[in-house]
Structure 1
């Protein structure tokens, strides 16, 4: 490289650094709560914590109250309105009493609240615009002693409070907004992305937003991060026992520093880990605010959808039914299982699924684009090599007297027959009882038994009224 080239590169690098610093500074100013917002949250949280503690200690000696989550760790984003109050009960209390006392404390804290259920019931409500959860758990010495998933949460808060300073907390906020902007923030089973706790661990591990981006840009899954060295110690134990198998097989593994048996990133899908990598490279190469702003698609119009169908030359087919009455964390795994089963059923019958998706609102729909929507009346069925005598004779005898089959005949060294195809169109298959043999989610199967519609080709335009934005996203795919 000439001296002129070298001199030309250096200012560009500095310009890129300044551009990223400028963008991050602007985002930080947007997502950092101001003094008034902090005061309002603190007043509400303190008042409710006092109310919860009084109700808890009246019912159980040794109970206490702890604020957890991002508002406790000062990593919350301006505009967020979540206050999580955990009521901790002594470990000798039985589960039934914990649930009973927990609900009583929840209702005493939130008289207008309502009950919801995770691993056990808790009370949720709204106070002065803040969303409040009052959750009972056991007060334990170690997260390895947990009796339910919520028992870990106080340990997460304590661990991070010791490691987050003001600068890292600022970078956590920026990172969360970045993950929201690219659509991968949230550990719910619809999103399958990065939880708040995971985000904080990654920022602490790498030392900030930019170092995290630079590291993620070069990740090669499986990425293993072990803040407290738990996995190394366990691997040594396994090797000593003659078992060197990895404990986890997820693309991103972040060993919970409070519980060595748990991968904090287990819910992250491969797509979302790859998406994070893609946009980490994007923003390092070309810093811009758009990466921090969620891309909400405008609903697709009827004419736009017809244009896509004509341009693509595929045949879309959809199965529409009433969405099962489930919370999203139960619904979406069942939709994905059903999507996999239906697309496999179409592929197995020669209809060649090009791409597919599942969407839900009041209705649910599984949409598949087919490269082939009609098949011949006959299909080939290959048999075993003739020299494999027992199997070959069995195959030959099964079709030799079948008047509806062509053959058997020999191709190469194998028997082949051409037999009547069960379904010649995708619609026939989807409207048949064989749809229920593909491996559907249990509640989806029940919903389909109650009735469903099959939409083919331009009939899917009827989905636009309910799923216009989702179909816009489907026909405008981005990383």
Structure 2
């Protein structure tokens, strides 16, 4: 466990010396609120780029307009945040193909050194004076329910929140965002699966502040549903969607969307855990992200020996994908591999996936070797049609024991296909478990199976991730 984690736990256990709530949040807010110089610098860069984008957009479509969106537009950004999001809106009469073409042209004129990236459609990303800039095309629509792509909603989000955020709530949004960053639950990317900025802003508005949000979250009983605009009550029968998520926040601008859909059950629970801890003993350090220590080879070997489990890893070259494409495929592959191991009796204890230049699916097994035979229960003898078929299938099998009768049904003991986890993972049957498409292609090219102490070779690339796995915290 890292020194910082130990200090946090000791502080919690002692329950003394904690500053009161108001003094802690006041001190935190003082250091996270952008100062006048930082605001002026951001405003200058944003205004120049917005004007440049508007000129380029209207040369192509006189009815186009440009607006800044996101946290820097709503003044909910934290000191040090460097994101400026510029949306170029085109009228709905423009077709999708022209919108994408215009959007890229405007983006490149706005950011001459920028590069193209792809979400639902392409956009231009670049850096200007230390700020990360996105120039994104979208349609200018009357309602978020008319959207043609996900980005069309974003201007409606900005309009909704600008009308509701006052200075006090804006300050509390900053606190909530920094708190979520500190506990590792902020970010809607598919690697983190945490709380997005928009979701955080809605939660603070709906709760009435940072402290009321913590108090509410501490007592959440998932699934939790919040409906800021009461959309559920106005929908006709059959119109509402059914959300199967631990936290549901109905988008005020689109009643068919759960703003918290990406938020994992683990991050909802993490927020609850630390909300309770902070309310019990307010501490400024909970707002500061804890960088995991790099696990040493000796420490890793000690964990393996102490736990008495068998770690096994499948390592391969990471597919060349953006994280939001890579991590869902890693999760799918992790689920498939763990299920394949469990189905063959190797009893998965815990597992995780990690990626950088290479990728690894690490599975910790309670059982790594199985007997040479496995029991196969057949139907009850009295169910003649099925029982006869089972008996005939195994009666002349020289490698099987039986069939014999146990508790009124036929049973046979047949040779096990794989007696070790390594044998299964190194076989072609690995490709039957349901892998992500690009992960499967990478494994077809080449992969390595690491067992037991062999996983120490992962330390060069994944020392921090292994620290998080073997020294976990809430």
For Structure 1 versus Structure 2, the TM-score category normalised by the shorter chain is over 0.9
1:54-111 per-residue CA deviation (whole Å, 9 max, x = no partner) reads 1111110211110000000000000001111101111101111111111111111111
The offset of 1:290, in angstroms, is 2.2
Of stretches 155-164 and 112-121 in structure 1, the one that deviates more from structure 2 is 112-121
1:338 pairs, out of 333, 358, 361, with 333
The offset of 1:20, in angstroms, is 1.4
1:354-369 to structure 2, matched below 5 A, reads 354-369=349-364
Equivalent residue pairs, number = 459
Match for residue 140 of structure 1? 141
CA distance in 1, matches of 2:346, 2:263: 31
Match for residue 177 of structure 2? 176
1:117-153 per-residue CA deviation (whole Å, 9 max, x = no partner) reads 1111111111111111111111111001110000000
Q: CA contact under 8 A between 1:16 and 1:285: conserved in structure 2?
A: no
1:255 pairs, out of 247, 250, 253, with 250
2:311 pairs, out of 300, 311, 316, with 316
Match for residue 69 of structure 2? 68
1:12-411 to structure 2, matched below 5 A, reads 19-234=20-235, 237-238=236-237, 247-411=242-406
Unaligned ranges ≥5, structure 1 = 1-14
The offset of 1:16, in angstroms, is 9.9
CA distance in 2, matches of 1:118, 1:353: 35
Match for residue 5 of structure 2? none
The offset of 1:263, in angstroms, is 0.4
CA distance in 2, matches of 1:288, 1:386: 67
Q: If the length of structure 2 is used for normalisation, what is the TM-score?
A: 0.95
1:406-421 to structure 2, matched below 5 A, reads 406-421=401-416
The offset of 1:17, in angstroms, is 9.8
Q: If the length of structure 1 is used for normalisation, what is the TM-score?
A: 0.94
Match for residue 441 of structure 2? 446
**Judging changes above 3 Å, is the alpha-carbon distance between structure 1 residues 17 and 424 closer, same or farther for their aligned structure 2 residues?**
closer
Match for residue 458 of structure 2? 463
CA distance in 2, matches of 1:140, 1:281: 42
The offset of 1:159, in angstroms, is 0.3
1:231-259 per-residue CA deviation (whole Å, 9 max, x = no partner) reads 1222xx22xx6x9x862111111000001
Unaligned ranges ≥5, structure 2 = 1-15
CA distance in 2, matches of 1:462, 1:92: 57
The offset of 1:18, in angstroms, is 6.0
Provide the alpha-carbon RMSD of the alignment. Answer: 1.3
Q: Secondary structure in 2 aligned to 1:296? A: coil
Q: CA contact under 8 A between 2:57 and 2:64: conserved in structure 1?
A: yes
Asked if residue 425 in structure 1 is aligned to residue 420 in structure 2, the reply is yes
CA distance in 1, matches of 2:317, 2:227: 44
